[in-house]
C-alpha cells in the first residue's frame, strides 16, 4: 500500500493507519514529507510518486491519499491505471481560499494563523497537539515552501474531479468527514457518482482528515476493502 500525505501534513497524518496495516500483515510505503516541501506542480508530484514506486519495485499497489494527496493519487491512477489495485480518496480539495480558511495572510505564517487553519480543518481541533502544530509551522516558515503551497492550491482550483473519476477503472473508495469545511461532503457525494466503480462513505463528527480525527472508523472501512482486494487477487 502507498500512502500519500497532504500539502502541509507529512507521515504523521497516517500514524494510526500504518499501525493498523502492520497489525494486519500489510506492508506500506509512506511519503514522509508534506507534498508542498519540494514541489509546486501537480505533474511533478505525480511523476515523483510513480518514480518512487519504480525505485521501490512496486508494480502495483493500493494507493491512498489524504487531502491534497487524494488529487495526486487520482492523477497517478490516470497516468498508470495498471498499477492501481484500489484507489482510496479522502478530503480531496478543490478551490481553497484564505476566506475559506478564515485567515488574513500577508506573507508571514504565524502561530495564530496556523491555529485558525487547524480550527477549520478539524471538527475537534484538540486532536492536533501543540507539538505537531509547531512542527508544521517550523517547516513552512521557509518562504519557498509557502510559495510551493500557494501554487499547488491555485492549480487545484480548476481541477476537474468528475472527469478524473470517470477515467478510473479501479475501485474507488471515498471516505469523507461530514463536517469537512474544505471539501464539502455533500459536494463530494455527488462527485462520487462520476466513478464507474466505487463507494462513498460519510463519517460523522469529523472534518477534513478522517485518518487523523476518526482513525478507527477510517481504518475499519479501509481494512474491509483491502481484504476484498486480497480475496479478488488470490
User: What's the fold here for domain 2-232?
Assistant: Rossmann fold (3.40.50)
Per residue in 139-153, pLDDT (tens digit) is 888 888 888 988 998
Task: Give the Cα separation of 42 and 48 in Å (integer).
Answer: 10
Q: Which position has the grid cell 511519503?
A: 31
Mean pLDDT of the chain: 90
Ranking 3-12, 51-60, 124-133, 191-200 by mean pLDDT, the lowest is 124-133
Cβ atoms of 193 and 162 closer than 8 Å? no
Task: Give the Cα separation of 218 and 92 in Å (integer).
Answer: 15
- For residue 126, what is the DSSP state? G
Per residue in 51-97, pLDDT (tens digit) is 999 999 999 999 999 999 999 999 999 999 999 999 999 999 875 54
The whole-number pLDDT of residue 189 equals 95
Domain residue limits, the chain: 2-232
Task: Give the Cα separation of 11 and 18 in Å (integer).
Answer: 9
Task: Give the Cα separation of 107 and 84 in Å (integer).
Answer: 39
Instruction: Report helix, strand or coil for 175.
Output: strand
Cβ atoms of 27 and 21 closer than 8 Å? yes
Amino acid at each position: 500500500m502507498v500512502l500519500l500525505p497532504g500539502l502541509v501534513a507529512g507521515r504523521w497524518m497516517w500514524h494510526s493507519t500504518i499501525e493498523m496495516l502492520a497489525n494486519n500483515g500489510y506492508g506500506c510505503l509512506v511519503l514522509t514529507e508534506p507534498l508542498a516541501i519540494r514541489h509546486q506542480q501537480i505533474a511533478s508530484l505525480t511523476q515523483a510518486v510513480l518514480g518512487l514506486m519504480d525505485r521501490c519495485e512496486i508494480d502495483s499497489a493500493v494507493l491512498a491519499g489524504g487531502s491534497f494527496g487524494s488529487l495526486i493519487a487520482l492523477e497517478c491512477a490516470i497516468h498508470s491505471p495498471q498499477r492501481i489495485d484500489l484507489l482510496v480518496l479522502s478530503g480531496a480539495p478543490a478551490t481553497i481560499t484564505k476566506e475559506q480558511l478564515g485567515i488574513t495572510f500577508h506573507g508571514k505564517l504565524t502561530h495564530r494563523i496556523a491555529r485558525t487553519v487547524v480550527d477549520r480543518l478539524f471538527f475537534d481541533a484538540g486532536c492536533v497537539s501543540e507539538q505537531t502544530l509547531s512542527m508544521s509551522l517550523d517547516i513552512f516558515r521557509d518562504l519557498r515552501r509557502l510559495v510551493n503551497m500557494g501554487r499547488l492550491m491555485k492549480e487545484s482550483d480548476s481541477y476537474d474531479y468528475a472527469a478524473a473519476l470517470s477515467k478510473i477503472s479501479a475501485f474507488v473508495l471515498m471516505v469523507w468527514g461530514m463536517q469537512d469545511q474544505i471539501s464539502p461532503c455533500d459536494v463530494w457525494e455527488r462527485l462520487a457518482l462520476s466513478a464507474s466503480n466505487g463507494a462513498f462513505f460519510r463519517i460523522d463528527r469529523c472534518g477534513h482528515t478522517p485518518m487523523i480525527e476518526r482513525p478507527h472508523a477510517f481504518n475499519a472501512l479501509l481494512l474491509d476493502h483491502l481484504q476484498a482486494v486480497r480475496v479478488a487477487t488470490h
